[in-house]
Each structure stands twice: as C-alpha cells, then as structure tokens.
C-alpha cells in the first residue's frame, strides 16, 4: 500500500523558530482570546506550531498509524461545520487570570469562532474542548434501587428514569510556567523531569524554551452538567459538585474493592436533586486510572494487599501502594481545580467527596466549599471497607468516627482464594 506519510524526505528532529514563519505568540491569561492567541499543535505545516506535543494527545499515536497505513492524508484539516458548543459557556473572569487556569485552554471549545481569522488564513487551529448535550440511562436510577428515590420532573429527570445533561470533553493544554508554579518548582526543572522521566518524550521540552505550552499525551476530563447551566455561577442558587477520578474496574464493571461507582452514583443523584431544586450539579470525571498510576500497577497492589502477612488490612493500605509505585498517589490534585475555575465556580454548596486532598486543592484556589458530603454507609461495598477506613485514618473527611489503630489492624478484605 502506498504511504502518504512524508511530505518532504528531510526528518526534522526538533523544530526551530527559524525554520519558517514566526510562530504566533501565546500570551497566557491575556484579556481576550485574540490577544491570547491560538494554540497551534498540528504536526502538518509545522511552521505555525507554537506548542509542544500534539492535538488529541495520546490519540495522535493512532493518527500516526492511520497516516502510515495510507488511510489518512497527513495534510487533512478538520471541517468544523456545525461542531460549535451546543450550550454557551463563559467567558468568565477566571479565563483571563494566568494563575487560575494552567492545565486547560479556556478558549479551547470556541476556536472556530474566536480564531476564525487564523483558520481562514489557513492555520490549522483545532478545538481542545467540545460541548454537547446527552440523555443518560444510568442503570441505578432506572432501577430505582439507590436509596434516594428521586421524583421525575420531566425536565432534568424524566418519567423513564432518563436524565438530560450538558457535557464537555476537555484535552489537557499545559502552560508550563504555571504548572511549575503549582508544584513549587521552576520551569526548567519541570521540563527536564518531563523529558527524562518519560524516557525522552518530546525533546522540544528541553530544546525549545521559547515554547511554553505543552499538550501532554495523558487522559483528559469530561464534565457532566445537570440543570440550568446559568445556575452554576449564580450565587443565589445552590451548587452540588463531585470530582471523580476514573476507576474503570468499579465505574464500568462494578468491582467491589472500592467505593468509586457508588460514590459517583451518589454524586449524580445529588446533582439531579440540586438541579431539581433550582440549582445545578457538576460531575467532573478525570481520566486518571488507579490514582494516575495506571491499571497494571493497581492490580499489582491488589495482589500485594490480599497476599500480605495478616491479610488485607486498613493500616497497611497505603504502604502497599508505596512499595510498588514509590508514592501513595500520583493524581496531583494541584491541577484539578482548573476545570472548576473554567466553569466560573466560586462556591460549592455541597461537595460530594471525603478527600482532603481534593478539598485542600479547591479551597487553596479560593473556591469556597460550604458542606462536604460523605458516601452513605449503605452504599459502601463490603470489600471496600478496608479502603474507607484507611482513608479516614489518613485524613479523609468523615462526620462519623475515625477508626482506631486496633480497628485498622483487623483483617477486613477478602482473600484472593475467596473469590
């Protein structure tokens, strides 16, 4: 099969600003989109590139396969007709504050509109966000076997048990100086670590200090909005919010070793109820599998927990993860509040999480949290009590009792042979 991969035969290992036209400057946090400038991360026509990495992050690997296999023209530009946001979002004051948002492009859903001149001039500017509408059939709500017994209102929750939402898909777009600042390090150290610790991903991280924006090939974010989107930023109306980190085993398959899906469902129920009472509900879904350690590490830790001397106990829950991964958690909630700032949120009335790490990160960004809502006891699966106790002892919010050392040492979890 003929390959259409290469336009020229000259491999450019790392691009240089002298190679063609000068890249459009990105003024992160500028007062309007045009002054800020578009993020251009198209491999083709690289003269206009002003960012490290690529649109679609990880999925650019599949695009590369498509080009190599001859099924995709490497010069293809997307036709964005009719793709504009289904619901207007923003702009909010947080969009033009370079400190408030450092890991997503606040204008990413509106490029077709705000960068129309650039696109017209032939620059391949692509959306890094998309806003659409959806109708959800959440099995627990359809079956009504959750504890809440929501009443249908015909608008948010239908008689059939279906739910109407607005949803937003977001790809990460990092402003490296801001990222470094969030982690209390300098940009140079951050860039070097990103290059070296990934086995040499994107040499431009170290060769192009003039480029400050990076599109990392990591999972993105999906936001589900319940009720009137206008209520999210209306201080007279209530806001319910859950920030949920992906856990495929529980979220999709209902594995009972953790509380992930039950807590997510509780968050959805609270979001619906708050929307029905005239407020709004926000569910943020972050693609950070297994505390951002990945699923292989997660399963290795499960085995180590269940096989250790004395069995699976809460007092050694975090220790086992640290033995395998070197850290207890890599989710780094420092960047998480960006999406809340993007939504214009300044106050969360009901925060559906017990995580002190999430709480601290949000409050640290100046967003008020009025009340923290734990998962109801009856929604915690039996095998997940190990996790729950370990987290409470480590500083998770609870309005119940914090387990004692003696309770933490008791064997709780199922043994590997008991399946």
Beta pairing class for 174-175 and 280-286: unpaired
The answer to whether 228 contacts its own copies (rule: CB under 8 A) is: no
Nearest to 365 by CA among 339, 394, 330: 339
C-alpha to C-alpha distance for 274 and 346, rounded to whole angstroms: 17
Q: Least Å distance between CB 142 and its own copies?
A: 7
The answer to whether 88 contacts its own copies (rule: CB under 8 A) is: no
C-alpha to C-alpha distance for 284 and 147, rounded to whole angstroms: 22
Q: Least Å distance between CB 290 and its own copies?
A: 8
Tokens of 65: 């396969």
Site residues for its own copies, 344-373, by CB under 8 A, read none
The answer to whether 231 contacts its own copies (rule: CB under 8 A) is: no
Q: Is 36 or 306 the residue whose CB approaches its own copies more closely?
A: 306
C-alpha to C-alpha distance for 356 and 342, rounded to whole angstroms: 22
**Active-site option among 124, 270, 315, 329:** 329
The answer to whether 16 contacts its own copies (rule: CB under 8 A) is: no
Tell me which of 118, 167, 316, 358 binds its own copies, using CB under 8 A. Answer: 167
The answer to whether 138 contacts its own copies (rule: CB under 8 A) is: yes
DSSP assignment string, 290-311: HHHT-HHHHHHHHHHHHHSTT-
Site residues for its own copies, 247-286, by CB under 8 A, read 248-249, 251-257, 264, 285
Q: Is 156 or 372 the residue whose CB approaches its own copies more closely?
A: 156
The answer to whether 20 contacts its own copies (rule: CB under 8 A) is: no
Q: Is 31 or 71 the residue whose CB approaches its own copies more closely?
A: 71
The answer to whether 21 contacts its own copies (rule: CB under 8 A) is: no
Residue 64: how many other CB atoms lie within 10 Å: 15
The H or E element containing residue 282 is strand 280-286
Tell me which of 33, 157, 243, 301 binds its own copies, using CB under 8 A. Answer: 301
Tell me which of 17, 78, 90, 98 binds its own copies, using CB under 8 A. Answer: 78
Tell me which of 28, 107, 125, 204 binds its own copies, using CB under 8 A. Answer: 204
Q: Near its own copies by CB under 8 A, which window of 92-100, 289-297, 350-358, 390-398?
A: 289-297
Tokens of 405: 């050392």
Q: Is 75 or 121 the residue whose CB approaches its own copies more closely?
A: 75
Q: Least Å distance between CB 30 and its own copies?
A: 23
**Residue 135 annotated as catalytic:** no
Residues 6+ apart with CB under 8 A from 69: 1, 3
Look-up of token digits 């996790």:
387
Tokens of 224: 């589900």
Q: Is 30 or 130 the residue whose CB approaches its own copies more closely?
A: 130
Q: Least Å distance between CB 371 and its own copies?
A: 25
Q: Binding residues for its own copies, how many (CB under 8 A)? A: 140
- Are the CB atoms for 126 and 55 separated by under 8 Å? yes
**Active-site option among 331, 350, 372, 389:** 331
Beta-bridge partners for 282 = 225, 241
Beta-bridge partners for 348 = 369
Residues 6+ apart with CB under 8 A from 54: 41, 42, 43, 60, 215, 217
Binding pattern to its own copies, positions 141-160, x when CB under 8 A? -xx-x---------------
**Residue 331 annotated as catalytic:** yes
Question: CA-based Rg of the chain, rounded to a whole angstrom?
Answer: 23
C-alpha to C-alpha distance for 268 and 236, rounded to whole angstroms: 21
The H or E element containing residue 269 is helix 260-276
Tell me which of 11, 151, 378, 400 binds its own copies, using CB under 8 A. Answer: 11
Residues identified as active-site: 329, 331
């Amino acid at each position: 099969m003929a390959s259409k991969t290469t336009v020229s035969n000259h491999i450019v290992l790392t691009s240089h600003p002298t190679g063609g036209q000068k890249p459009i400057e990105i003024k992160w946090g500028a007062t309007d989109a045009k002054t800020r400038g578009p993020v251009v991360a198209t491999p083709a026509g690289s003269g206009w590139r002003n960012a490290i990495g690529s649109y679609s992050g990880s999925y650019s690997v599949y695009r590369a396969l498509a080009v190599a296999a001859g099924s995709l023209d490497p010069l293809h530009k997307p036709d964005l007709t009719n793709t504009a946001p289904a619901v207007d979002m923003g702009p909010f004051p947080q969009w033009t504050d370079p400190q408030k948002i450092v890991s997503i492009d606040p204008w990413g859903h509106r490029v077709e509109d705000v960068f129309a001149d650039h696109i017209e001039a032939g620059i391949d500017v692509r959306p890094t966000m998309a806003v659409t509408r959806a109708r959800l059939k959440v099995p627990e709500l359809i079956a009504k076997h959750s504890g809440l017994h929501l009443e249908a209102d015909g608008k948010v929750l239908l008689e059939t048990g279906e739910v109407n939402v607005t949803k937003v898909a977001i790809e990460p777009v990092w402003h490296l100086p801001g990222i470094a600042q969030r982690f209390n390090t300098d940009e140079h150290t951050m860039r070097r670590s990103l290059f070296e610790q990934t086995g040499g991903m994107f040499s431009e991280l170290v060769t192009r200090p003039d480029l400050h924006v990076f599109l990392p090939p990591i999972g993105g974010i999906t936001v589900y909005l319940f009720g009137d989107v206008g209520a999210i930023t209306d201080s007279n109306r209530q806001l319910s919010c859950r920030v949920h980190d992906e856990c495929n085993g529980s979220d999709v398959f209902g594995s009972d070793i953790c509380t992930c899906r039950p807590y997510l469902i509780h968050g959805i129920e609270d979001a619906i109820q708050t929307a029905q009472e005239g407020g709004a509900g926000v569910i943020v879904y972050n693609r950070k599998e297994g505390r951002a350690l990945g699923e292989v590490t997660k399963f290795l830790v499960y085995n180590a927990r269940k096989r250790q001397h004395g069995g699976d106990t809460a007092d050694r829950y975090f220790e086992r993860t640290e033995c395998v991964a070197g850290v207890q958690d890599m989710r780094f909630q420092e960047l998480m509040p960006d999406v809340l700032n993007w939504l214009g949120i300044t106050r969360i009335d009901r925060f559906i999480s017990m995580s002190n790490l999430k709480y601290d990160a949000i409050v640290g960004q100046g967003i008020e949290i009025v009340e923290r809502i734990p998962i109801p006891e009856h929604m915690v699966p039996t095998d997940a009590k190990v996790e729950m106790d370990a987290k409470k002892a480590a500083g998770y919010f609870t309005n119940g009792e914090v387990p004692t050392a003696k309770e933490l040492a008791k064997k709780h979890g199922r043994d590997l042979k008991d399946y």
